[in-house]
Chain A
């Protein structure tokens, strides 16, 4: 318990409350804050767009090789993020497997761009969404979908108007976890997208950099990240209780 609490107390006692606002509104902190919000929300959105259909395929179809797909989808959760960053670089870097044709044909490049930061965060955070949604689909009573089909609803209408609303609490919880993970992403982002203020320097990267030069700003930004985490925890708690009460 103390082991868990002491670091938090340590952080809170070091905060210089008087200059907190000043520290948070320095250009470095403001840029990082803005970029972090933009990137993490994009990453959450991308995870929803890609992850929900994937979770549905894993939970509801007899696709051969499902277990392999599931393993691949979950891998980034257990993979050291730095390795994820290296892998992304080898795939989407300018000389990468996909990066080279993308760059030469369309002029699209990911390293050292905000899109790269979004990609890195999505790669690391999406598994949280996939496992939450897949678990929700498995635990949901599949006969609701049969009832919808029986009433004449096709697959898409069934999914949109029956499945999604029924798993909504889990979907929201999964999205919140994904967002929190994306917000805290460090290793893959710095390896793949670099550390450029205003373009790829998200809050965790800025904290790491500022800690060497300007401890006050680093601590202020850490406090901001801590606040986001607590907000997610409290929001999820309400959601979970709400789900139980229904």
Chain B
């Protein structure tokens, strides 16, 4: 076990109590609503927020243990953190940002620069080495930040909402890139997010925290099938289908096919957000890549939203406004056309990213 933490901390009125173990090479996603303590958790691991009680042990080394009066300073830990908006030093070029950590740990200038360039290369941003942070796109800045942290050879990698600073259009592609880059990391990794898609894409295991405590943990599939709180149920109201993929074509267990925008092969988990499924009374015009006729099996009204469960061939839930529901005049058993864009069909290897 690489990271072994029993965390108890009070910041003002807020209290965080949880146990977290992360193995080497494992990526754990911590999901929770705003103010649930996600960022505080990362700050305690990085040493920016001391524990009130409990302990943090990384590879057998005690980093924080108030009872034993041990507290290792942030600069003496090997816990690389990607901050929410990356916090690249604005006055330094990309390569100087990456070299900063190496220089801080005593590497001489020319070697630090060489290694920084190599890391930028591995993150596929070597061509931006001389750019200042404000000249980088969100995705580039994220990769420079990742290079900057990985260059210091951390034993524990912490990511605080790494997708939050990106615009929605860039997220899908960046998510897959990040997943690829993290796969090469051999230490323990904790990712904080409020977006279940990030968690599905990147993490091996999910930990859900609410109001400073863990409410559920497990694999994405376990949590989606048996959500234990209303927050989790709402958060995980995603459509999750088992399938096998070859290229951009996905074949479901019952033989139905879907088209995705990104390529995959073999056993795959398909994730479709209910909001991205449109419903129509007639065969839709235009050319959504995925459309099929089906029947409404159930309708649940949640406030001004309606969750419409569809039957075969693609058993998914669509979420539309209550107004659209009324306009369509749907009831249980109504025939309906469903459509979804290929770009809204996300695929992930079924084994959770090992």
Contact = CB atoms under 8 A, between A and B. Distances in A.
Contacts of A149: 47-48, 73-75
Contact of A143 (B83, B134, B148): B83
Nearest to B87: A147
B75 A153 contact: yes
Nearest to B78: A152
B228 interface: no
A161 interface: yes
Contact of B101 (A141, A152, A246): A152
Nearest to A151: B101
A141 B73 CA distance: 20
Contacts of B81: 147, 150
A77 B99 CA distance: 43
Contacts of B134: 246
A147 B100 CA distance: 11
A143 B84 CA distance: 10
Contacts of A141: 87
B105 interface: yes
Contact of A150 (B74, B89, B90, B92): B74
Interface in A130-177: 141, 143-144, 146-154, 157, 161-162, 165-166, 168
A152 B75 contact: yes
A137 B52 CA distance: 28
Contacts of A161: 100
Interface in B69-102: 73-76, 79-81, 83, 87, 89-92, 100-101
Given A152-B101, A154-B104, A146 B74 contact: yes
A152 B87 CA distance: 15
Given A150-B80, A151-B148, A153-B100, A162 B74 contact: no
Given A143-B83, A146-B48, A151 B100 contact: yes
Contact of A166 (B46, B90, B105, B152): B90
Interface of B, helix, strand, loop or mixed by DSSP:
mixed
B129 to A, nearest CB: 18
Interface range, B side? 20 to 34
A143 B87 contact: yes
Interface in B1-57: 46-48
A148 B91 contact: no
A124 to B, nearest CB: 32
Contacts of A165: 89, 91-92
Contacts of A162: 89
Contacts of A147: 81, 83, 87, 89
A157 B101 CA distance: 11
A144 B152 contact: no
A150 B152 CA distance: 10
Given A151-B104, A151-B152, A152-B104, A144 B75 contact: no
Interface string B185-208: 000000000000000000000000
Contacts of A146: 46, 48, 74, 83
B178 interface: no
Task: Indicate the member of A151, A154, A165 with the most B CB atoms within 10 Å.
Answer: A151
A153 B148 CA distance: 13
Contacts of A144: 87, 89
A78 to B, nearest CB: 35
Nearest to B79: A150
Contact of B104 (A143, A148, A166, A168): A148
Given A144-B89, A146-B74, A162-B89, A153 B104 contact: yes
A149 B92 CA distance: 16
B226 to A, nearest CB: 37
Nearest to A168: B91
A31 B105 CA distance: 51
Contacts of A168: 91
B170 to A, nearest CB: 22
Contacts of A157: 104
Nearest to A149: B74
Contacts of B89: 144, 147-148, 162, 165-166
Given A150-B80, A151-B104, A153-B100, A166 B75 contact: no
Contacts of B100: 148, 151, 153, 161
Contacts of B318: none
A206 to B, nearest CB: 42
Interface string A163-200: 00110100000000000000000000000000000000
Nearest to A154: B75
Contacts of A148: 89, 100, 104
Contacts of A150: 46, 48, 74-75, 79-81, 149
A152 B83 CA distance: 15
B105 to A, nearest CB: 5
25 contacts: A141-B87, A143-B83, A143-B87, A144-B87, A146-B46, A148-B100, A149-B48, A149-B74, A150-B48, A150-B74, A150-B149, A151-B75, A151-B100, A151-B101, A151-B148, A151-B149, A151-B152, A152-B76, A152-B104, A153-B104, A162-B89, A166-B89, A166-B90, A168-B91, A246-B90
Q: 4 closest A-B pairs (Cβ-Cβ)?
A: A151-B101, A153-B104, A152-B104, A149-B74
